[in-house]
Chains A and B, each alone.
Chain A
């Protein structure tokens, strides 16, 4: 009797244990290759410079994932010097990290070095500013599309049927950068289609708001009936906006630009310095680049074997659609 109870209890316990065992779930077999494939990998990011909204935003998001997944992310900051960037790249080719993320100051300078890096077996992703050499991946804005959207918006404001002068000023950034060249092509293509549009000025401000301001002051003196301004970057064109506001023409001149969707950009729309920002949304780009980093590191393809592009989504920011949470601040990303 006693023995039987013990046996029964024992069997029950065993059964329970067995059942519990079945409820432990499964160890996902594809999980380990994912983490093992990333652990200890070395990724190096060469930005234009640290210390401004775009690169700080991307870096914050990339750092988080690197820490999560156990690969290292180093940043070599050339601080706006193409020379220093070139040297960093040359050094990296000898150091052989697993992946280089390059933010090109212009379409030519890094091109040959990026190709050499791929020849040396280092995978390369280009971020937001491409060079003429396609690499393993490009993640970033489609600058031609940004340009077409900007130009279309201005044609709507100033073109045939608007009843305005049709005079437009173009403020370029760095005249050799991908963003600048591709946008300019789109502007010219679009403006050429509307006979009412006249390009009255095409000057470079080199990302400097003070320069943009000086240019705009002169242009406004020359063309008091200016209708629109299209610029390369919100952080720069805010200077043009300031000149327009100082001249009391904030309601007459429509300022279109593009940017990363940082809170400062939104503030500048609120202040009436800018009218439309085509935002390439840095947090979104950060997630896209993170996904691309993992994919490129895990891919069995050799460096330079397969080449992909992902053009990140664009958002149009105007006074009418920005709310308190439309734009991002660095503290949110960190």
Chain B
């Protein structure tokens, strides 16, 4: 990019900076270390989920089952731990469950050619339903006490940063590494940009798609571990909240195009930052709940509109069998 072109990421970043400056100038105590840490901490789980979603969206998919995967696998882990199973063993089972969910979604999407948006939407419902029916009875599961590393993950700090932020940073670095430095990462971009061309070139397209959903499910599981540690429990009601849309907001707002093939971890970070600044500022300004939702959804609408202008539909790719999501 030799010319300074108006990219969505740039717009959003500028918007985040502008909001930041306005809040810093007008709100007392906004620009304190404590508030900034609280700001990032409050969106770190959203950010972790955004990393998984970002990867799938770059590969021209979408994973609406992420929140369900997170909620069900972790609630199961916690309820097994409460029933007396060693916590580490329970975690292994939880990870296997998440893996199975990702595998199932991926296989349905890659091999049965069912559109990702419907597959994952249904998968989320199926998992949540079977979780409530078979895996746990009470909708809020408490964390077991006395697991040191788990307590540290929730309440500890590294170099003054709360662990959820550290976890977000480490995962972001890992995903960035995978996307930019590995063959798998490049393949994801290629498949996302033009799946047919990628397949003709000889990429193992279907296994590639399956792998994306497995990774996003595992990231959802990790987000769940961090969340359960941070709030010392897991509430299955999170599934009924607007969280999955907030995750999409982070990704799309950051500038990862829904038509695939574009974007990087940096976009997720920028999107997370803007949502964080926005939420923090609105809470400080004490804006009412309904107005907050309105502002959030208007911004999402704006971001999607901008996205379709900056990344216009491509004649070639929009005629693929899967079409746009």
Contact = CB atoms under 8 A, between A and B. Distances in A.
A51 B137 contact: yes
Contact of A172 (B38, B240, B289): B289
B237 A203 contact: no
Interface string B36-56: 001101100000000000000
Contact of B138 (A52, A215, A217, A221): A52
Interface in A192-220: 200-204, 206-210, 213-215, 217-219
B35 A207 contact: no
A235 interface: yes
A175 interface: yes
Nearest to B42: A214
Nearest to B233: A209
Contact of B289 (A79, A204, A219): A204
Contacts of A52: 138-140
Interface stretch (B26-34, B93-101, B168-176, B189-197): B26-34
B38 A208 contact: no
Contacts of A218: 35, 38-39, 42, 280, 283-284
B317 interface: no
B231 interface: yes
B38 A210 contact: no
A34 B286 CA distance: 55
Nearest to B41: A217
Contacts of B235: 208-210
A221 B34 contact: yes
B206 interface: no
Nearest to B240: A80
A202 B288 CA distance: 7
A222 B29 contact: yes
Nearest to A214: B42
Contact of B29 (A175, A204, A221, A264): A221
A202 to B, nearest CB: 6
Interface in A23-63: 49, 51-52, 56
Given A52-B140, A221-B32, A246-B155, A210 B231 contact: yes
Contacts of A239: 231
Contacts of A209: 231, 233, 235
- Chain B CB count within 10 A is highest, among A49, A56, A207, A210, for A210
A203 B41 CA distance: 19
Contact of B241 (A208, A221, A264): A208
A117 to B, nearest CB: 25
A216 to B, nearest CB: 10
A222 B28 contact: yes
A186 B138 CA distance: 32
A242 interface: yes
B35 to A, nearest CB: 4
Range of interface residues on chain A? 20 to 34
A210 B286 CA distance: 18
A173 B308 CA distance: 37
B198 interface: no
Nearest to B132: A51
A203 B231 contact: no
Interface in B203-254: 227, 230-233, 235-238, 240-241
Contact of A221 (B35, B232, B236): B35
A308 interface: no
A111 to B, nearest CB: 20
Interface in B278-325: 279-280, 283-284, 286, 288-290
A113 B227 CA distance: 39
A298 B34 CA distance: 62
Contacts of A214: 38, 42, 279, 283
B38 A213 contact: no
Contacts of B34: 221
B140 A201 contact: no
Nearest to A55: B139
B238 A210 contact: yes
A242 B155 CA distance: 10
A299 to B, nearest CB: 35
A187 to B, nearest CB: 15
A49 B237 CA distance: 10
A51 B238 contact: no
B290 A175 contact: yes
A215 B238 CA distance: 16
Contacts of B280: 218
A49 B35 CA distance: 36
A291 interface: no
Contacts of A208: 235, 237-238, 241
Closest 9 CB pairs of A and B: A204-B289, A51-B139, A221-B35, A214-B42, A217-B38, A218-B283, A80-B240, A210-B231, A221-B34
Given A175-B290, A221-B29, 13 more contacts: A51-B137, A81-B240, A202-B288, A206-B241, A208-B235, A208-B237, A210-B227, A210-B235, A210-B238, A217-B41, A218-B284, A235-B140, A239-B231
15 contacts: A49-B139, A51-B138, A79-B240, A175-B289, A175-B290, A200-B286, A203-B286, A210-B227, A213-B231, A217-B38, A217-B41, A218-B35, A218-B280, A222-B28, A222-B29
